[in-house]
Amino acid sequence: MSNKLIEIAVTVNGKSLERRVPPRMLLSDFLRHELHLTGTHVGCEHGVCGACNVEVDGKTARSCLMFAVQAEGAIINTVESLGTIAKLHPLQQAFWEKHGLQCGFCTPGMLMTAKELLAANPNPTREEVTEAISGNLCRCTGYQTIVDAVMSAAEAMRNSEVTPS
């Protein structure tokens, strides 16, 4: 039974990288342990909690349900791609302002899932937000304020959009 390493080339948060990984390494562990991108959280490791959601080729994926070898050639964005301390992403700003987190464990997955929702649907209803985050568990059960935050971010993002002349 082999632990033979396989060479992969991926683009993570805009940086092209090459690494050698064993096939059994989960994408979540690759991001955290190999790339030290610890913003992606690992909750359940069987695809239930959504804390490890990242963007793979433009769509969210459970990074605990993908092997790093499968990411060969992929473009991956993690929560670290969103904003900086000095310049938060509108979603991060709204989660802060609307108390969209208590312990913060589910937050990276919530943010990446909400980003996917707002890209497809910039003006969602509360029901649509609830549906979108239904695969993300908040262990503090702070769902109401998470929905508030996503609604608030959606509005901020709509208002900040430059209308094409």
The binding site for other proteins (CB under 8 A) comprises: 1-4, 6, 22-24, 26, 29, 45-47, 50, 53, 59-62, 64-67, 69-70, 72, 113, 116-117, 131-132, 134-136
Fill in the DSSP letter of residue 67: B
Going from the C-alpha of 99 to that of each of 58, 74, 94, 96, 104, the distances in angstroms are 27, 34, 8, 5, 10
CB nearer to other proteins: pick between 6 and 88:
6
- In the complex, the smallest distance separating the C-beta of residue 163 from other proteins, rounded to whole angstroms, is 28
CB nearer to other proteins: pick between 73 and 96:
73
- In the complex, the smallest distance separating the C-beta of residue 59 from other proteins, rounded to whole angstroms, is 4
Give the bridge partners for 154, in sequence order: none
Going from the C-alpha of 82 to that of each of 27, 67, 85, the distances in angstroms are 19, 23, 10
- In the complex, the smallest distance separating the C-beta of residue 85 from other proteins, rounded to whole angstroms, is 27
- In the complex, the smallest distance separating the C-beta of residue 159 from other proteins, rounded to whole angstroms, is 25
Burial of 160 (0-12, 13-18, 19+ CB in 10 A): exposed
Count H helices, E strands: the chain?
Answer: 5, 5
CB nearer to other proteins: pick between 42 and 88:
42
CB nearer to other proteins: pick between 4 and 87:
4
